[in-house]
Amino acid sequence: MTGRFSGAGCDTDDDVGHRFWMDAAAALEWDRAPECLSRPLPSGLNAWFPDGLINICRNAVDRHVAAGRGGDPALIYDSAMTGQVAKYSFAQLQAAVARTAGMLHNLGIGKGDRVIIYMPMIPQAVFAMLACARIGAVHSVVFGGFAPRELATRIDDAQPRIVLTASGGIEPSRLVPYLPLVAEAIALAAHKPAHILSYQRAEVPADRVALPVTDWEEALGMAEPIDCIPCASTDPLYILYTSGTTGKPKGVVRDHGGHATALLWAMRNIMGAQPGSVYWAASDIGWVVGHSFIVYGPLLAGCATILYEGKPVGTPDAGAFWRVAREHGVEILFTAPTAIRAIKRDDPDGSLVGKGDTLPLKRLFLAGERADQPTIDWAREKLGVPVLDNWWQTELGWPALSPLAGRDDLEVREGCAGRPVPGYRFAILGPDGAPVPPGAVGDIAIRLPLPPGTLTGLWNNEAGLTQSYLERFPGYYVTGDSGQIDEDGFLSIHGRIDDIINVAGHRLSTGSMEAAVLAHGAVAECAVVGVADALKGQLPWAFVVLEKAVSPEPGMVEREIVRLVRDMIGPVAALRDVITVPALPKTRSGKILRRLLREIAERGRADIPATVESPHVIEQIMQRVKALQRPASSSASDVSDRSS
């Protein structure tokens, strides 16, 4: 690609990394090659390759067929829930995606229309994402473990023309019929999508709902395949909602061109993947890991990607990951530390791992939450491969701190998530916004501009973008994490500075859980805190103050509150404990001392700060937690927030 790398409004600042990113972009097929690398947006973020035309689906699928790799494996679906395995070559994937795109087109879906995808981990969900990209529609995948109310919030914000779903998901303990959940969400939402399209799974009967539902296979039968349309590099590819501090989810927007450029670079340089490598991100398409490293990243790099429907343990046992790795020749595995902790708990000796020489794995990447050292050590020893922690966020879209396996930089440091990846310039800032010296703890921030592939905005929420990330420290993106950097540039992450918690790699807002708890009529006041847990990293505990007039039978309100949070947010937001207390500990200015509550939950005790309003309340809370006789797991300190 030739490029003059400048032009009206074009950012020519060296900070942006002209040559680096133009070269990275040149590895893709463009409908019109960009000459301008980036242009600053009014928000403070950047628009990448603003004069370029590209389609990410063409690059992920069609490009490989055109290059003669149509027969190579592209998508391997392995369901531990049903025992099914289905393999799609790039040519078969192209045919399936092109037809799915035709089906959406027949339903009137076109460029810029939003499409909500609320689906289990089945190939049709991947076809749907790529089909949206193919026709320039904007997908928004909603994790199947979210309840109707969460789905409704996303429907109202994204205003989709269509909701794509399936008859249901399959969890180890039960079938999860999706249609009643979708129907309830649509009843709750003010916006009414024009269509609901449902894929009928043989294993999950479709529930009758009082809504017109189009059958996926019937609609597909009437569709003709259609080609990729050229999109502006800056066109929105997807919206992915993530927990925010306000309780209202934030719709992270990602583009076509910057995203494709960054992911292809990441697959080659961070993951060390080659065309033909078998790559597996054991996550869910509802999370950012699923978007970047189940769907787009591996396919852009010409890898075969695994779509696994199952759990790390219990489907049927803790050898499930190693079976999949062996059966499909997985070389690179990406998962959350929780998954490895669960495997280690069930198979501490690693007897189900099998002999190292039969396992094709070359490396294991861990992200999504803090990777504790015992888990890293166990995986390294049992698997005999490098275990590579990496840090990033839904907003960033691809690793920002990581070793670079593709460049043979596998250096890791105990307790650290890694060093900055090219394109990310980190700073640890003190309360005054000035960088603190190495070794000192502060807010983790990234100097603007962020690299390509990171968020280009928040859907319908420019004010939220500024408020959440950009205004606190001008010139920086604020990550919401605190941590420190050492003399050699390795960062260690201490935890969130806001009310976001990470449960089994799932990002949840304690603010929205508090809103759900408060919906219970007997609750006067509450605080939900994330408490360290040896398996899931953190678990939410609710401390509640009941209305004076309420004297329920013991345990009843607590059970109702657990149920309420589950019904309002989803089964992944399971409160571990609900503790009724006479009052919440507060500072004299009325701020709830959440950190103190967390400390009591984790250790059974806490030092009472001088600023506290009524110290006797804290004594009573400590007694209540002690009376539970089940403080957070004794090994919880392995995973506890190091800032506390």
Residues 275 and 395: their CA atoms lie apart, in Å, by: 27
Instruction: Give me the least distance between CB of 275 and ligand AMP, in Å please.
Output: 27
Q: What three-state secondary structure class fits 527?
A: strand
CB of 47 to ligand COA, least distance (A): 28
Nearer to ligand COA, 163 or 621 (CB): 163
From the list ligand COA, ligand AMP, none, which binds 496 (C-beta under 5 to 8 Å, kind-based)? Answer: ligand AMP
- Binding ligand COA by CB under 6 A: which of 145, 275, 354, 422? 145
> Applying CB under 6 A, which of residues 189, 333, 504, 527 lies at the interface with ligand COA?
504
* 410 touches 388 (CB < 8 A): yes
Task: Name the β-bridge partners of 77.
Answer: 86, 307
Closer residue to ligand COA in complex, CB, 2/173 = 173
- Position 96 contacts ligand COA (CB under 6 A): no
* Span near ligand COA by CB under 6 A; candidates 29-37, 147-155, 335-343, 542-550: 335-343
CB of 49 to ligand COA, least distance (A): 28
Which window, 50-58, 170-178, 230-238, 556-564, contacts ligand COA (CB under 6 A)? 170-178
Contact flag: residue 336 with ligand COA (CB under 6 A): yes
Identity of the residue numbered 575: L
Neighbours of 633 (CB within 10 A): 17
- The answer to whether 142 contacts ligand COA (rule: CB under 6 A) is no
CB closer to ligand COA out of 362 and 576: 576
The region of 219-227, 259-267, 334-342, 355-363 touching ligand COA under the rule CB under 6 A is 334-342
**Through-space distance between the first and last CA atoms of the chain, rounded to whole angstroms:** 50
Which pair of structure tokens corresponds to residue 513?
Answer: 């859980």
Quick one: how far is CA 213 from the chain centroid?
29
By CB under 6 A, name the one of 342, 516, 601, 639 that touches ligand COA: 342
Q: From ligand COA, ligand AMP, none, which one binds at residue 342 (CB under 5 to 8 Å depending on kind)?
A: ligand COA
Among 267, 304, 313, 513, binds ligand COA (CB under 6 A): 313
- The sheet carrying 476-485 orders its strands as 426-429, 442-447, 476-485, 491-496
Q: Which is nearer to ligand COA, 282 or 412 (CB)?
A: 282
Tokens of 65: 């067929």
- For every residue of 406-472, DSSP letters joined together read GGTB----TT--BPBPTT--EEEE-TTSPBPPTT--EEEEEESSPPTTS--EETT-HHHHIIIIISS
**DSSP states along 63-114:** HHIIIIITTSEEEEEEETTT--EEEEEHHHHHHHHHHHHHHHHHTT--TT-E
Asked if 53 and 230 touch (Cβ cutoff 8 Å), the reply is yes
Closer to ligand COA by CB, 399 or 423: give it.
Answer: 399
DSSP H or E stretch at residue 183: helix 179-188
**Residue 283 binding result from ligand AMP, ligand COA, none, given CB thresholds of 5 to 8 Å by partner type:** ligand COA
Candidates 636, 625, 615, 532; CA nearest to 578 is 625
Site for ligand COA in 562-621 (CB under 6 A): 571-572, 574
Pairing outcome for strands 523-533 and 537-546: antiparallel
State the residues that interact with ligand AMP by CB under 6 A: 242, 288, 367-371, 389-391, 393-394, 417, 479-481, 493, 496, 502, 507
C-alpha to C-alpha distance for 427 and 414, rounded to whole angstroms? 20
CB of 566 to ligand COA, least distance (A): 8
Q: Which does 161 bind (CB under 5 to 8 A by kind): ligand AMP, ligand COA, none?
A: none
Q: Give min distance, CB of 178 to ligand COA, in A.
A: 9
Instruction: Give dist(CA 26, CA 475) in Å, integer.
Output: 29
The residues of the shown chain that bind ligand COA, judged by CB under 6 A, are 144-145, 169, 171, 173, 176, 282-284, 287, 289, 311-313, 335-336, 338-339, 342, 368, 504-505, 571-572, 574
